Every structure is written in C-alpha cells, then in structure tokens.
Amino acid sequence: MIDLNERYAEKKSFFNRLVVVYVFFGFVFSFFLYQTYSLQVSEYKDYETAAIANKTKEVLVQPVRGIIYDRSGKIIVNNVPTYDLIVKASLIKNIDAFLSDLSPIIELDSNELDYVRENFDLKARYNRELIVKKNLSREEIAKFEVRGYKFPNAFIDVRYSRYNNYPELFSHAVGYVGGVNNDELASILNSQALPQIETIFKYSNGFQIGKTGLESTYDQILRGKFGKKIFEVDARGRFVEEREFIKPTNGENLFTTLDIEAQQVAYDQMGNRRGAVVAIEIDSGSIVSYVSTPSFSTNAISNGISSRAFNALIQDNDKPFFDRASQGRYSPASTIKPAIALFGIENNIIDWDFSMEDPGYFILPEDQRVYRGWRKGGHGNVNLNKAMIVSSNTFFFSLAYKSDINKLIEHLSNFGFGSEVCADCFNPDKALLPTPEWKMNNLNFGWFKGDTVNLGVGQGYLSATPLQLAYYSTVLANKGTSKELSFIHERQDIKNLNIQLNNTDDLDWKRLHQSMIGVIESPIGTAKRLQELKTYTVAAKSGTVELVSTDTKEDYKIIRENEGNRDHAIIIAFGPMPNPKYAVSVVIENGESGGSVAGPVAIAVLNSLVGK
Amino acid sequence: MKKKLTFKNFSIYFDQYLFISITLLSVMGLFFLYSASQGDINTVIKQSIFVGFGLFLMFILSQPDPDFYKIFSSLFIILAVLLMFATMIFGREVNGAKRWLNFGFFTLQTSEIIKIALPIFLASYLYNKPLPISLKHTFITLALICFVFYLVYSQPDLGTGLVVFMAGIYILFLAGLSWKFIFTSFGLIVLSMPFLWNNFLEPFQRQRILTFIDPSSDPFGSSWNITQSKIAIGSGGMSGKGYQEGSQAHLNFLPEAETDFIFAVIAEEFGFIGICVLLSFFFFILLRCIYLAFNARDRFCRLTIGGLSLVFASTLFINLGMVVGIIPVVGMPMPFISKGGSSLLSFYISFGIIISMATHKKLMQK
C-alpha cells in the first residue's frame, strides 16, 4: 500500500497529467471549431454554391429548326416528327446480344444494322443516345410497348428528322444537316452564353446543324436557340424534380429565291450528265435555280446513312458531292467573247464597223505560232457582230493580241472572273483569273503574248465557275450593272456593282445584245438549233471547252473515244429580249457542243421561268 | 451530483448528470438518424432498441463495486483477446476485413470489447505501482498495448486500433509514466516514421494520407467523401437548412451519412448554431468525467475514469476531425449519435463502468 504522502503526490500527478491531455484536446477541439466555423460561416457562399451545383443538372432543350421555302412559298425542307427506337448506348454491354433479342420484335434491315454497329462504340463512349431504328410503324410501336420491359435501356421517343421534299434536287443548293460535333456544339453554346455543362453530350442527342449549302450558310438563323430545363438530381444523377423550364426559341423560317419548277426542269434536263446550271433573276440578283449533277439524297445524309452507302457515294467517279456550280472550274471558252468585245470597244481597238479576214487561224507575229479557229477555212470577212454570231476565234485572237494584258485582266475582273460573286453561297471557289504575277509565282514562267491571245477566246489559264458565268451573264444582260448574287431577297449586305466602261454607250450594249441574239436567231449562229425551242427572243453565247488541243477534226475523233477527253459544253444566255428578266449559265462536262448540248438545257430553264 | 440511493438492504449507484446528458444525446441521435437515414423508421426503431438496451446496460454496470472490475479485469482481457482470436478464425468477412463475430441475433465487433477491457486491466495492473512507473512495468504495459493494437490492426481496423492504442497509452501516462521515457520514445518515434510508413501502412492508407495532404491529387477517389462532407457542412451555414432539408444527405451526395458522417448531416441541417448546442452536451459529459476522476475513491478508479473518458473523447475528436477534413478518413463513429451496434453499446458500457468507479465510496477512507 502507498502511504498518504505518496497518495497525495500520485493524485497531484494524475491531476496534472489529465490537465495536460485535456489542454491538448482543447487545442484539437479549438482547431476543429475554427475549421467548422470557416466552413459554415467564412466560406459559406462557396459551399452553398457547391451544394446547389451538386444537385442541379441543366438539360438543354432543342429548338426546332426553321423551314426552308422556295420563292412561291412551297416547302423545300421541313421537320418531320418520327417515332424512333433509341438506346442509351453506354448502358448496353453487348450490342450484338441486344440486337438479337430485339430482332423478334423490331426487324432491322442490313443498312440499319450496319449503322447501329458502326456507331455504337462512339455513342457509348460519349454517353450519347443511339437511334436504332427511325420512323417506327404503329405496329412496331405497339409490339415494343408490350415487350419493352425486356429492354430497360431502350425507349421510343419523338425525334425530328430533317426532310427535304426534293432530296436530290436541292442537294447542293440547300445542302444537308448532320450531327453536331463537340467543338461546334461548344461554340453554339458559347454564342448563347450557355454553360459548357458536363452533360453536354447526353443532351445534344439528335441536334443537327447545317453542314453544306443554305443549311450551313443560314445555320444561325435556322437552328434557333436552346432552351433549358433545370432539374434536381441525386448523387447518381437520377431525376428528382423539375425546377425551371426556359423554352427554346425555334429557328426562323428561310424564304429563298429558289424556284422549285425551274430547279426541277434544270435537274431533269441534266439527266445523268455531269455539270451545273445556275439561273439568276436579273433585277434582284437572286438565284432561282442552282443545280449540280450528279446529285444525291440529302435526306439519307441528314438522317443517318450506313457507311457502305456513304462510301459508294464518296467513291463514285462522277463525284456527286462535288458542287460543280460554285466549285467546278471550267474555262469559259467562247462565252468570254462578249467581254472581250466590250474591252475592244472601250479601248478603241475596234468598233462595230471594223472588219478583218478570218482564214481559220491566227499566226502570232512573235513566234509564228498558229492559233486555230473551230472551223477549217475560217469565216471569211468578219466584223464584230458576225464574229460573235459565228464565234470567230481569229477575230478575238487578233483583238486580244492588240490588248494590254493588265487592263484586260482588270476589265474581266469587273465581270466577276476571279472574284466572289455570291453573298451566301456555300464555300464558293474564286476560280482563276490569271495575271503575269500569278504565272511567274506558280508556273515560274513569264507572261507570253500567246497567253493574252488565248485569253481572248477564254482558253488557257482562265477558269470560272458556273456561278461566276451566271453572274457574268447577268452583268451582260443588265448592261454592266448588277447585284451580288444571293439566295434570299432581304439581305442587307448585298453589294451593287456597276461597271464603268469608257467610250461605251447604250447603243454599244444594244448591239452587243443583238449579236448575242444572233447567236441563236441567225442562220449562221452557233446555237441556231435553239430557235425552235422557245417563243421569245433569247441572247446567248455558247462555248466549247477544249480539254485536249487538236489540229484537225480527225485528231479530235480519235481523242473523243475517251469520254473524259471530250470538250465541255458551255453556254450563257438571258432573255426574254429586249428586256431580259433571267440569266442562266449551263456547263455540261464532256458535252462537246455548247450550242446544241448545253443550249437546250438553258432554254428549257428560261422557258420555265419566263413562262410564269 | 452523484448519488447513492440507499434502500433497505441495497443501494442503487447512479450519476444523474451523466445519465441525463447521455440520454438526451441518445434521443437527439435518434432524431438526427431519422433524417440521415432519409426517414427510414426501421433504422430508427432498431437504433432505439440499442439505445434502450445501452442505457439499461449502463445502469446495470454502474452497480458493481469497482473492486469487481479490478478483480475480474484479467478475466475480461483474456476473454476479449480470445474473442479477437475467434474473430480471426470464425469472423464474418466484409470488404476484406474480419471484424465481426456472428452470434445469430447479434453480430459483435470484438475490438469494441477490447477497447474497454484494456484500459481497465491496465488500471488494475498499474494502480499500485510506485511513481514514476518503472521501466520494467512500462515495457510490460507497452508490450500488452502493442499486442492488442496488433490484434485489432490486423483485422484490419486501423481506426479502432489507434483508439485502443491511445487508450492504453492514456492509462500509462495518467498512471505516471516517467517524462524521461516519454521524451526519449517520442524522439525515437519521430525518427522511425519513414520505416512505419513503408512497412505498416497499407497502400490504401498511404493513399488516404497523401490525399489528405493534397486533396486535389485525387478529386473523385478517396477525397470524394471529404469533399462532399465539407460541402454539406459548409452549405449548412450559421443556422442550417432545416430538419430533413439537407440536400447533400437526402440526395445521397454524402457518403455514410448514417454512420461516420452523421455530423455532416447535422451541420448541414442545423448549422453552426446547431452543432455548438450539440457539442456542448459532449463538453459537459467530458467536464463531468474530469470532476468524477478527481473525486474518485482511489487510484484504480481515477485511472479507469480518466482512461475510458479519454477513449470517448478521442473517438469523438477523430470523428469530428475526419468529417471536417482536418485528419484522414479512418472510419470512426460519432459516439451516441452514429448508427451502430457494438460501437454504440461500448460507450454505454464505458459510462456504466465510469459511474460505478465514481459513485462507490470506501467507507474506511480518510
């Protein structure tokens, strides 16, 4: 036993030590209390925000895309509600097992199966929905409703499909829509000041944006603005309740200047040939017809196509995706002659009375090189009027020879060559208006006089798109004034373009028009076969683009055995004269004759437009 | 005021302060649990049964004379160690840990028993040793503490292991461990830290500690719990969101809301004011324990009261520190509040023993 002193010492020691421990605990507790205080009081706002962010999920609500109309108010592209079978791809472990379970209820054809298998991995990875089958029938819906419990990760819901009523007619003009990619969606959401929310992928499902044509150019107007649903969710992201619903703003409808009937005529006329037709309403500069053939169905592209079908289109030698109207580069050939003629008059090189002998060829004085016309033996004595009607190359070789190249280039650029002529075309090409600098930089050669001579008949390095040719045709028809081309009327930014020609008056323009009328109406005109196809007067200039240079008709017969070597057929036309309302350009690849091959297409389109 | 109610032939030993404050705390616990369990009445009923049984146990265990505990302390610790061995062999494995013995109607977490048995045994071993405790007795005590710690640690249950270890050290310290020994061993421990780190911590424990030091290193892994817990506490603000209005708990963002993280639920729903009120009860209980320790009849009672109350305080502080993110997540319930079986009962048992130690007086005392 311990004695009393020791008992006292022990009690004191115990007391001291217990105090030591509790003082230590006191510190720990103070620190704890401080931490709690800073969490709950000092940093309260931050944590309150974090707690709200935790339980709040925002779901984007898609706007309905605007409808696209033609100029008479007929619907070209609409949104069609369809009942689709949709799966949450990320929740399905084995897609093949899923498809085989599904097959007794909803049958998928091989294209649909391909589409599902190809897209499954991607959709699963990004937690997006995958549309297994579009446009279910009532019977399929009923069948699925009965046995749907077997497929917890699949459901039927309304989705809007972009439906073009004329899927092949407007494939290049109107274009197609497609699924939005992450960058595109991010920038769309940015523009609407919407947060880049974590669930971005999930709710962008089925959202489409314009990829080509007007769908792309006017995408901002057509697509509308996202709405928002704000939900409360639990930790697993499961829906608890709806808090707020901001309705989406649907896209605006687009009233275009396109004319379905003219478009149909142009498309039918082109048949299975490769080429392009562009028709313009002259006063307004509006595009009424815009065709590039061969074409493809925009509905298939917009709403899901199997890669097999897609590859077939991609690998088609005729390149159906290629928009020949605004991207195809063709030498203008003889269709350039009216512009060259105006240059000659403006610069006093020639006048309407000037005439010369056309022996069928032009010899360049510098190197004695021979430039041949299209007709052996030539056209005899030709003045400007006759040179236009018979398309005398010799006359224009000679005229170009006397021209200053730099002035000539500037002159041609006023007619739209080498420049952008359309305010709202999708990705138009400027083609090429060659300059001496261009030749030096690209071909490492100086500019030869022969290059200028070739320019006089629209051959050589010069190229233009059918769209530029249509614009050129409009400028000619309107005597030098025109507007930038456009698919809609109301655009505010349309430029008025006036060409100031010196030494040229209205009479010169009338005589030029008269000579272009002669191309069709004169018995010696290069497009005289078109006379019977119409009931009014049309001004035109045909052209034949030489792809392979040959000296004789016999040589040409040999090279034309290969279709790809045949000349391109080309024509510009406007009418009805004398007050033309519509201008048109037609290019038919390897069509051989501008007058008799491209011509009928141009006349048919004008007929459909003028007839109204 | 502690009381001895004397009837004709027997007395009832009872401390009304502890009894009332613990009962109030338990009832508040049930109230909080109802919210934390998202209104699951079954959970609350089950917990009430444990609380009722616990209070009953506390009362019963207050009755024996401290000598009873002193005499049987060796038996208790042997039993407890045997139960630990039994757990090792017959234990139910949950998530890779063997901590529970299944008795059919009740699964017992055996480390909870040893958490009580060890301090009592050490008190009974050290109460008659002269001051300061000799090196020999120090080493014997430390060896036992380490042995018991190892048993718990190997289950594995680092959290409870640490509490058991601390319980032993508290008794040794309070009993008069020499300061020289304390400073020497403290120096040695600091030096051997890297060795302990490499050899005694499981990779996931190291990860927890690393995550604790730099939470941004692992935003959705181990620190998810802490992040969500902090959001729950912080968003409660000064006065809280209101009973059952805590979105963090009710939308399942908060992990283990009924057990380890129940404090976060309370903080979210009742705010800083609410937790200050709640913690004042704990504060009161601890103060009462200090008072009882000083007035205990002998050294054995003092040591036992001091040791058991420090175990209680340590458990509370580890839980609170973990929930607010000042110490790593170790898995520690909040005494009298968290849902639990064995762990809950162990606190009633501890306080039953504390009351016994405090209320029995030796008549022959000077």
Q: Do B232 and A51 touch (CB under 8 A)?
A: yes
> Chain A residues with CB inside 8 Å of B291's CB?
none
- Confidence band, pLDDT 50/70/90 cuts, at residue B99: confident
Q: Do B247 and A15 touch (CB under 8 A)?
A: no
> Chain A residues with CB inside 8 Å of B224's CB?
none
| CATH classification at residue A83 | 3.90.1310.10
Shortest Cα distance, chain A CAs vs residue B353, angstroms: 19
Calculate the CA A87 to chain-centre distance. 32
Question: How far is the C-alpha of B13 from the C-alpha of B359, rounded, in Å?
Answer: 6
- Confidence band, pLDDT 50/70/90 cuts, at residue A455: very high
Q: Is residue A39 part of a domain?
A: no
Question: How far is the C-alpha of A392 from the C-alpha of A355, rounded, in Å?
Answer: 12
> What's the angle, vertex CA B90, arms to CA B89 and CA B96, rounded to 5?
80
CA distances from A73 to A164, A253, A254, A287, B166 (A): 15, 11, 10, 15, 87
Do A222 and A292 share a domain, yes or no?
no
> What's the angle, vertex CA A212, arms to CA A332 and CA A132, rounded to 5?
140
Do A298 and A157 share a domain, yes or no?
no
Question: How far is the C-alpha of A145 from the C-alpha of A151, rounded, in Å?
Answer: 10
- Confidence band, pLDDT 50/70/90 cuts, at residue A198: very low
Does any CB of chain A come closer than 8 Å to the CB of residue B271?
yes
Shortest Cα distance, chain A CAs vs residue B34, angstroms: 19
In angstroms, how far apart are the furthest CA atoms of chain B?
68
User: Residues A87, A117: contact at Cβ < 8 Å?
Assistant: no
| Whole-number average pLDDT of chain B | 87
Shortest Cα distance, chain A CAs vs residue B36, angstroms: 15
Residue A7, pLDDT above cutoff 80: no
Q: Is residue A553 part of a domain?
A: yes
Q: Do B235 and A232 touch (CB under 8 A)?
A: no
Sign of CA dihedral A528, A529, A531, A537: negative
**Percentage of chain A exceeding pLDDT 90:** 54
Does any CB of chain A come closer than 8 Å to the CB of residue B325?
yes
Question: How far is the C-alpha of A43 from the C-alpha of B364, rounded, in Å?
Answer: 59
Does any CB of chain A come closer than 8 Å to the CB of residue B19?
no
Residue B342, pLDDT above cutoff 90: no
Q: Do A21 and B174 touch (CB under 8 A)?
A: yes
> What's the angle, vertex CA A115, arms to CA A110 and CA A121, rounded to 5?
135
Is there a cis peptide before residue B215, judged by omega within 30 degrees of 0?
Answer: no
Q: Which of A394-408, B51-65, B145-159, B186-200 has the lowest mean pLDDT?
A: B186-200
> Chain A residues with CB inside 8 Å of B279's CB?
33
Do A232 and A373 share a domain, yes or no?
no
Query: What's residue B45's pLDDT?
Result: 95
Residue linked to tokens 């009120």: B277
Q: Is residue A331 part of a domain?
A: yes
User: Residues A401, A449: contact at Cβ < 8 Å?
Assistant: yes
Read off the amino acid at residue B200.
F
Sequence-distant (6+) residues with CB within 8 A of A473 are: A280, A572, A573, A574, A583, A584, A585
- DSSP code per residue over A5-45: HHHHHHHHHHHHHHHHHHHHHHHHHHHHHHHHHIIIIITHH
- State the total domains in chain A: 2
Do A148 and A87 share a domain, yes or no?
yes
> Chain A residues with CB inside 8 Å of B228's CB?
54
Q: Is residue A113 part of a domain?
A: yes
Sequence-distant (6+) residues with CB within 8 A of A374 are: A391, A393, A544
Chain A residues bordering chain B (beta-carbon distance below 8 Å): 1-2, 4, 6-7, 9-11, 13-15, 17-18, 21-22, 25, 28-29, 31-33, 35-37, 39-41, 43-44, 46-48, 50-52, 54-55, 232-236, 240
- Confidence band, pLDDT 50/70/90 cuts, at residue B220: very low
Do A279 and A407 share a domain, yes or no?
yes
Do A562 and A493 share a domain, yes or no?
yes
Sequence-distant (6+) residues with CB within 8 A of A598 are: A275, A542, A569, A570, A571, A586, A587, A588, A591
**Percentage of chain B exceeding pLDDT 90:** 52
Question: How far is the C-alpha of B327 from the C-alpha of B349, rounded, in Å?
Answer: 27
Shortest Cα distance, chain B CAs vs residue A32, angstroms: 6
Do A354 and A423 share a domain, yes or no?
yes
User: Residues A133, A86: contact at Cβ < 8 Å?
Assistant: no
Sign of CA dihedral B38, B43, B47, B48: positive
CA distances from A328 to A569, A589, B175 (A): 14, 10, 99
Do A167 and A284 share a domain, yes or no?
no
Residue B1, pLDDT above cutoff 80: no
Q: Which residues of A are catalytic?
A: 334
Do A276 and A250 share a domain, yes or no?
no
User: Residues A347, A367: contact at Cβ < 8 Å?
Assistant: no
Residue A1, pLDDT above cutoff 70: no
Does any CB of chain A come closer than 8 Å to the CB of residue B292?
no
Q: Is residue A243 part of a domain?
A: yes
Query: Which of A230, A255, A280 lies at the terminal end of a domain, its last residue?
Result: A255
Do A279 and A247 share a domain, yes or no?
no
Sign of CA dihedral A164, A168, A171, A174: negative
Q: Do B232 and A9 touch (CB under 8 A)?
A: no
Does any CB of chain A come closer than 8 Å to the CB of residue B251?
yes
Phi and psi, residue B199, nearest 5°: -110, -20
Sequence-distant (6+) residues with CB within 8 A of A136 are: A82, A83, A84, A85, A106, A144, A156
Shortest Cα distance, chain A CAs vs residue B58, angstroms: 24
Q: Do B234 and A47 touch (CB under 8 A)?
A: yes
Q: Do A14 and B317 touch (CB under 8 A)?
A: no
Residue B153, pLDDT above cutoff 50: yes
- Predicted confidence (pLDDT) per residue in B268-292, tens digit: 999 999 999 999 999 999 999 999 9
Return the structure tokens found at A219: 């995408």
Calculate the CA B308 to chain-centre distance. 8
Give start and end residues of each alpha helix (H) in A271-415: 298-302, 307-315, 324-327, 337-346, 384-390, 393-401, 405-414
Sign of CA dihedral A67, A73, A74, A76: negative
- Predicted confidence (pLDDT) per residue in B5-31, tens digit: 666 556 788 899 999 999 999 999 999
Closest CA to B282 of B14, B2, B18: B18
Q: Is residue A452 part of a domain?
A: yes
User: Residues B288, B360: contact at Cβ < 8 Å?
Assistant: no
Query: What's residue A204's pLDDT?
Result: 46
Of the partner residues B238, B286, B302, the one whose CB lies closest to the CB of residue A14: B302
Sequence-distant (6+) residues with CB within 8 A of A236 are: B252
Shortest Cα distance, chain A CAs vs residue B333, angstroms: 16
Return the structure tokens found at A298: 């925009």
Closest CA to A582 of A473, A493, A457: A473
Question: How far is the C-alpha of B47 from the C-alpha of B40, rounded, in Å?
Answer: 11
Sign of CA dihedral B119, B125, B127, B132: negative
Question: How far is the C-alpha of B85 from the C-alpha of B106, rounded, in Å?
Answer: 18
- Predicted confidence (pLDDT) per residue in A228-257, tens digit: 888 787 777 666 777 888 888 999 999 999
Of the partner residues B271, B286, B326, the one whose CB lies closest to the CB of residue A32: B326
| CATH classification at residue A435 | 3.40.710.10
Q: Which of A353-362, A448-457, B148-157 has the lowest mean pLDDT?
A: B148-157
Of the partner residues A32, A36, A235, the one whose CB lies closest to the CB of residue B272: A36
Closest CA to A543 of A438, A436, A396: A396
Q: Is residue A17 part of a domain?
A: no
Closest CA to A277 of A612, A565, A571, A610: A571
- Predicted confidence (pLDDT) per residue in A98-156, tens digit: 888 888 888 888 888 888 888 888 777 766 678 888 888 888 888 888 887 788 888 88
Calculate the CA B132 to chain-centre distance. 28
Closest CA to A608 of A251, A201, A286, A258: A258
> Chain A residues with CB inside 8 Å of B226's CB?
none
Quickly count: other Cβ atoms within 10 Å of residue B142's Cβ.
Answer: 16
> Chain B residues with CB inside 8 Å of A11's CB?
299, 302
* Eight-class DSSP state of A358: E
- Predicted confidence (pLDDT) per residue in A75-102, tens digit: 999 988 888 888 887 788 888 888 888 8
Do A199 and A276 share a domain, yes or no?
no
Shortest Cα distance, chain A CAs vs residue B326, angstroms: 8
Residue A432, pLDDT above cutoff 70: yes
Residue of A2, A8, A14 to mutate, interface with B, max B Cβ within 10 Å: A14
Q: Do B272 and A31 touch (CB under 8 A)?
A: no
The three-state secondary structure class of A288 is: strand
Q: Do A50 and B234 touch (CB under 8 A)?
A: yes
Q: Is residue A192 part of a domain?
A: yes
Residue of A15, A16, A18, A49 to mutate, interface with B, max B Cβ within 10 Å: A18
Does any CB of chain A come closer than 8 Å to the CB of residue B237?
yes
Domain that holds residue A241: 58-255
Do A210 and A359 share a domain, yes or no?
no
With 0.80 as the threshold, say if the pTM is over it.
no
Question: How far is the C-alpha of B284 from the C-alpha of B277, rounded, in Å?
Answer: 11
Phi/psi region, residue A333 (left: phi>0; alpha: psi -120 to 50; beta: rest), is: left
